[in-house]
Every structure is written in C-alpha cells, then in structure tokens.
Chains A and B, each alone.
Chain A
Amino acid sequence: MSRYYLSRFLYDLKMNDGMLQKALVNLDAAMADYDLTEEEKEALRAGDPRCLREFGVHGMISLYLKRLDPKFQNNIYWSQK
C-alpha cells in the first residue's frame, strides 16, 4: 500500500494542469511518474473513485479521478477549488 503516492496522483489531477493533460493523453505514462503498485494502477484504470476507498485515500481527493472520465471532463465542479 502506498497511500501517499496514490493520493498524490489524485491531488495532482486536481492541482497540476500539466499532469492532468498528460494523464488524459496516456494514463499509463502519467502513472509511471508515481510509485504505485500494480493493484493501485489497476484501480485507477478502472475509473471508479469509490474503489479507491479501500486504499485509504480520502473520498474527496478520489473524486478527482473523474476528471479523466470523458462524461465529466467539462463538469463545472473543476472550475472551482
């Protein structure tokens, strides 16, 4: 378990636009910059933030996984912090 790196990945989706753009283009390449287990990478690829709870990540940082979901990319929520 590496709660820090998984959380860091999600935090960067929220706060680091360059990293977000990279993840939108190639999720695996973006994940390679973080010290994630294969299990964690699989959870991120699955795209369901609810699945991240079991890794101990706060739900409101998990939510930012939805920035990679095409249905949510233009959601108004991302235009505030």
Chain B
Amino acid sequence: MPLVAAVAASHAPNILLEPGVEWEDFMDLHFSMAPQGTSSRPTFEQQQKLRRDAEEAFGILRAELQRANPNVLIVVANDQFVNFFNNVIPTFFVTLADEVKGQFTRHKFHYKNHKALGRAILDAGIEKGFDLAFGDHIELQHTQTVPLYFLLREPTIPILPIYVNTWMDPIPTPRRCYQLGELIRAVADASSERVAILATGGLSHYPGTSRVGEIDTEFDHKLLQTLREGRGRALADYTKEQLWQAGDSEFLNWIVALGAVGDAKASSTFYLPDLVATGWGFVSWKL
C-alpha cells in the first residue's frame, strides 16, 4: 500500500493544558526564562478561544486520518531530554519497542509499536547508506502525546515513533530530513500496511532562550503558503541557520513528512500564534 495520509501539528504543551490555572503555571515558568521576566499574557477568554480553535483544527486533521483508514501511524518528533541526553544524542532514531507508553498530566498513553515497519525502515536505510540509530525502549513525551491526544486518543492502531534531533546543535540539515522522508515513503509504498505519518513541533518559538515570547509569524506564514502550493521540496533548501533564526528548528520534523508527501499540496492549513511563545501550526495533505 502507498502512504495513505499525512498530517503535521504543533506539540506545545499549552495546547493540551487547561485554560486558566494550568496555562498560568505554564506561562509563569516560561517567562521566567525571558530576559524581562514577563511578557504579554493571553486572557482566560483568549486561552479558551485558542483551545477551541486548536480542537477545530485537530478535528479536520483527525477526519482526514480516519478517512484514510491507516493501520499504522508513524510519529516524527524530537526528544526533549527524556530519552536522550548529552550521553548520546542520535540525529535520527527509530523505535523498535513492542509497546510505548507515556503520560501528560492526568492523561495516560499506551500504544503498540509497529516494530516490523521500524525494522523495514532501518534495513532500507542501511541498504541506501542512511544508517539510523535504533533502540528497544522509549518513553512518550509531550512532543508525541499532545497531538496524539487529539488525533489518536484510543490506541486503535499501532504507532511508530521516529526521532529527529532538532534541539542540540549540530542538528541535521533540512535536506537530510527530506531524504529521510523519501526513504520512509519508499518503505511505506512497498509495505502491505496502510501507513500514515504525523510530524510534530513548531512552528516558530525559542524555547529556553532569551527570545522566549517571540514568534516569527512572517516566516511561518511563508512556510504554510509554500505547503499549500505543493512546493515543500523547496524548503529542503533552507539552511539550518535560517531555521534556527526563525525559531523553526522543529520544522525539521515536518520536513521529514514533506519528503514523504513529495509534491502533494497541503489541503488544510491552520495557524494560531498562541500569544505566549509558539506559532501553532496544523496541516493535512491530500495524497
């Protein structure tokens, strides 16, 4: 079967935190990293509207996924010092676990992992000179659980977490991430499974830096316009420095999905700057 569906979504924790006390906690903490110690804070009503709008966007993506009836969902995300740390930072990592679990506040997640598809991607990569790291255990974190809460809350199909190092320099080039997506597409097309792919992260934000609170909305709008035009291939020409500068290093996860969808046009795009730190983006492609 070919790749049957592709979506991409931000994974910012406040998408899933409850408006009110939980958002205030989140903002208190993140603005403690900003040079001024504070910044603009959305009101409770603004927080509620952002949550509603995000749920609506996720609803469109979920409908696209369900229509495609996949039987495995590849989840391309970055680790944020949960599974990997300064001991070893893999540039790319494929999960070979039997099952994967994680927790986000009171929400628990437990999925079967599609080990066979992971192994097929590893083997195909090795044949093509693309040697990926792998391992038998990972813990899911918000980079996966936030979108999964809205897109695959019930573990009706297995997932396959794939990690991209988007945070610890040296990060991979956009070109290399695009090539990983092409590799995944080739494996999906040769597989008997109906494969869907979800890329998470972004869009513009500057986590943990002195630029917390800035969002390069102009850059993000340009990215989304390029996706609507089906020119995602051109984004592989970006330099790492351009992505860093725009606060869009996590867009590398999305570029993996772009390599998988090729020249398909994004059919739905949503952009919601959260008034805190992150330009939330949500996209689906018609394949």
Contacts and interface: CB of A to CB of B under 8 A. Distances in A.
A61 B207 CA distance: 10
A55 interface: no
Interface residues of A, number: 25
The prevalent SS among residues of B at the interface is: loop
A66 B32 contact: yes
Contacts of B25: 75-77
Contacts, number: 78
Contacts of B28: 71-72, 75
Nearest to A49: B33
Interface in A34-67: 49-50, 53, 58-63, 66
Given A15-B82, A80-B142, A81-B139, A75 B102 contact: no
A22 interface: no
Interface in B1-30: 13, 17, 21-22, 25-26, 28-29
A76 B22 contact: yes
A60 B208 CA distance: 5
A8 B86 contact: yes
Interface of B: 13, 17, 21-22, 25-26, 28-29, 32-33, 35, 80-82, 85-86, 102-106, 139, 141-142, 145, 167-168, 207-210
